[in-house]
Chain A
Amino acid sequence: MGERRTFVFGQKTAEELEAEAGLPTEPMRVNMGPSHPAMHGTVRMVLTLDGERIRESDIELGFIHRCFEKEAEYATYTQIFPYTDRLNYVSPMLNNVGFALAVERLLGIDKEIPERAQYIRVIVGEMARIADHLTCLGASAMELGAFTPFLWFLKAREWLYTLLEEVSGARLTHSYVRVGGVVADLPTDFSEKLGARLIDIARVLNEGEGLIKDLRIFRDRMEGVGVLSAADAIAYGWSGPCLRSTGVDYDVRKDHPYLVYDRLEFDVPVGTRGDNYDRFLVRMYEMRQSLRILRQALDQIPPGPILVPDYAVTLPPKAEVYNSIEGMIAHFKLIMDGIRVPPGEVYSTTEAANGELGFYIVADGTGRPYKCHVRAPSFAILTSLTKQIDGALLSDLIPTFGMVNYIAGETER
């Protein structure tokens, strides 16, 4: 926001007139959150307001700090998966995949994951990405008063969650991915069901977009608000749709392909102005690209095993556990000691719904990580929020904060 001066008839500004009239004014400090309708999860902002304009802001985190990193040091690698579910609780599958890839790199088996498992990971990951974007855009629209697209988007998200529930058994906290593959194969008619849903979702996207994309009020609220330049966005460690909205085409899936993303055809939409409206559009187009990826993945997915047949990493089949001593011992060791990961360290990045999700794991040769650090995309993005909102109106905070897509789970861990 540029410098704004209010000119009254004549030559004097409002401030000068106020000073002459002897009306002393002082900025008002208000406490936004931790329980406030616009503070997703809980975050507290202390705002110093001059009228409706934000002069200063201070963001306070930690209300949902759940000691993820401390807990992870005391859990086996497999036991960490449920914790990763709760990082970005809107798209848990992407966190599952990210963590599994990091551990597999430490084990040196990242090239040996069966193809079918890789495709399954892409499919569930992209479904989670669509769900995440739908939630973000819907919730932001709702906060601007457009309630209807929110519920349409949530309806579409629920279709995806239902399918993911069929796959993993849980609607939200899937814990579906394992080191070395995925825990279970897709249900038999999954491909047809998802194929049908993809068409429905595309329709819902068109409807929702048609309702708000070109709406004058919506555009006025979003355009030119929360602008950050590309250079600033990089310096503030932005990633994902937010970084791409400023025109930087950094997408881990394209730049450092993992899984089978190099075999799938998709585009990376980028914005031009770096404002909230661009962030909205980038997310909108990304969902279409995800639909495209899903269609291709459903076509290409080969039959085959879904786990690495290495019983030092994955559980042996039950028949073997019950009938052979080797299977029994492998099962026992894996459950009691966890996967023995050779000493080493790795920083593995994947493209989560909000951007670069990094897992920095230090292994010391035991079944539990010595250190497991998560580089949460929305934590980095939130660092610039103060810069974006200082000087803006209180109402501008809402779309800006909404488009950051602050997820308390991964930010505060």
Chain B
Amino acid sequence: MLMIFLLGALKWLGLIMVFVMPVASLLTWAERRQSAMMQDRLGPNRANIGSVRIWGILHFVADAVKMLFKEDFVPAKAHKTLFRLAPVLAFAPVLIAFAIIPFGPTIHVDHLFKVLDPYSAPSGGERLQIFTAEFGMLFYFAIASIANYGTTLAGWASYNKWALLGGLRASSQMMAYEVTMGLAVLGMFLVTGTLEPGAMVDWQGPNPLHWGITVQPLAFLLFFTAAIAETKRAPFDIPEGEPEVIGYFLEYSGLGFGTFFLAEFVEIVFVGALMTTVFFGGYHIPGLYQNGFYFGDWFFELPHVVVAVLQVHAFIFKVIFFCWFQLLIRWTLPRFRPDQLIHLGWKKILPMSLANVMITAAVLLWLGL
């Protein structure tokens, strides 16, 4: 039991350290570079270590060093404990939630260089998913709502009216959009019959016509919208709308601010991973089955290890694509007004997601599935 637990913890740490944190850190640089390209300017391109200057990618190192060495200021009248706790509460849930994401196929160590049987997989194997549970998506929603406390507490504990306004905005927004997210996933649940992300990926398979985006297009749109709202980025960045209320992390400096900042980017990666898993076939590549490529009659056999490597890369590619897409949206759209945002959440998106669930259920009933 302890071994399983330790192995899980190790896998989680590996995923976070090898994939999530690097991508999130690079996103801080990529966001600035991408926006710079959209806006006809250069962006950060000078950070270097000695002569190593790969288009300024090292900028995130400079950022981290800056954050570390800045004074970590706590306002005199702030609630010290909650003030310190808030960044952790905002950051930790997202990292934990990564446990449910299947980022690759099941690895069969004994069959690495063999071609697998297309119809039956060998028993056992190591699943590239840390936490496999029937209630996977519910686990995510439970964990994600903790992040809500982080932002609200940050606003309240700062003893600053603007931060408080930001925190209130954050909590009302996240509540409004969490419901929609849940209902949008419910559509996929009805179709796939499972809430376990790994099983959802298996159900979708390598055929794009079977993917969530094809079977539940409306749910995809709603889920994506709500997910961006959950990350609190433009056009939904009203909790931190700089020219208005400045944000719930107004009083944070140094590492506290850095944590909020990084949490935002980790959330981008997570939303990307979630979109990939639920609606874009997870790690699957169109036409790539566990024994090789099938395109109609054309067939190309591949050993298990090649398939697995390709699929992990496909997952990474899809996640990065969604990260890029979110940055694109962020630098294109202006910000909502709080009441418009809540209006959109409760009066438009929520009824649409409800309707989506009902129609999906009716269609399934009619088809007799």
Contacts and interface: CB of A to CB of B under 8 A. Distances in A.
A28 B333 contact: no
Contacts of B331: 147-148
Given A221-B335, A394-B244, A394-B245, 6 more contacts: A146-B334, A148-B331, A155-B40, A217-B333, A397-B244, A398-B244
Nearest to B169: A52
Nearest to A39: B243
A143 B336 CA distance: 11
A145 interface: yes
A398 B332 CA distance: 19
Contacts of B78: none
A393 B39 CA distance: 30
Interface stretch (B55-63, B82-90, B126-134, B234-242): B234-242
Contact of B244 (A152, A211, A395): A395
B244 A148 contact: no
A143 B243 contact: yes
Given A30-B162, A152-B39, A155-B40, A38 B244 contact: yes
Interface string A112-150: 000000000000000000000000000001111111100
Contacts of A52: 165, 338-339
B235 A145 contact: yes
Nearest to B162: A30
Given A145-B237, A217-B235, A220-B340, A211 B332 contact: yes
A28 B162 CA distance: 11
Interface of B: 35, 38-41, 161-162, 165, 234-235, 237-238, 241-246, 331-340
B241 A145 contact: yes
A217 B243 contact: no
Given A28-B161, A151-B39, A221 B244 contact: no
B243 A37 contact: yes
17 contacts: A30-B165, A37-B242, A38-B243, A49-B165, A141-B334, A145-B234, A145-B333, A147-B35, A148-B332, A151-B39, A151-B41, A152-B39, A394-B165, A395-B244, A395-B338, A396-B337, A398-B244
A212 to B, nearest CB: 7
B232 to A, nearest CB: 12
Which applies to chain B's interface (DSSP): helix, strand, loop or mixed? loop
A215 interface: yes
A218 interface: yes
B350 to A, nearest CB: 17
Contacts of A36: 246
Contacts of B235: 145, 217
A52 B173 CA distance: 14
B292 to A, nearest CB: 44
A220 B337 contact: yes
Contacts of A393: 337-339
Contacts of B242: 37
Nearest to B234: A145
A55 to B, nearest CB: 15
A221 B35 contact: no
A211 B242 CA distance: 21
A401 B290 CA distance: 60
A37 B39 CA distance: 21
A217 B237 CA distance: 13
A275 to B, nearest CB: 14
Given A37-B243, A395-B241, A221 B40 contact: no
A395 B237 contact: no
Contact of A395 (B41, B246, B337): B337
A330 B40 CA distance: 51
Contact of B335 (A148, A155, A217): A217
Given A38-B243, A145-B241, A151 B40 contact: yes
Contacts of A147: 35, 39, 331
Ranked nearest first, the 6 interchain pairs of A and B with the lowest CB-CB distance are A145-B335, A38-B243, A151-B39, A146-B334, A143-B243, A145-B334
Contacts of A148: 35, 38-39, 331-332
B1 to A, nearest CB: 49
A144 B244 CA distance: 9
Interface in A59-104: none
A220 B344 CA distance: 12
Contacts of A396: 337
A145 B161 CA distance: 22
Contacts of B340: 217, 220-221
A37 B166 CA distance: 15
B334 A215 contact: yes
A194 to B, nearest CB: 20
Nearest to B340: A220
Contacts of B335: 144-145, 217, 221
Interface in A19-74: 28, 30, 36-38, 49, 52
A220 B334 CA distance: 11
Given A28-B161, A151-B39, A220-B340, A144 B246 contact: no
Contacts of B244: 38, 394-395, 397-398
Contacts of B234: 145
A156 to B, nearest CB: 10
Contacts of B243: 37-38, 142-144, 398
A243 to B, nearest CB: 25
Contacts of B35: 147-148
A256 B161 CA distance: 49
A52 B338 CA distance: 9
Contacts of B246: 36-37
Contacts of A145: 234-235, 237, 241, 333-335
Contacts of A212: 334
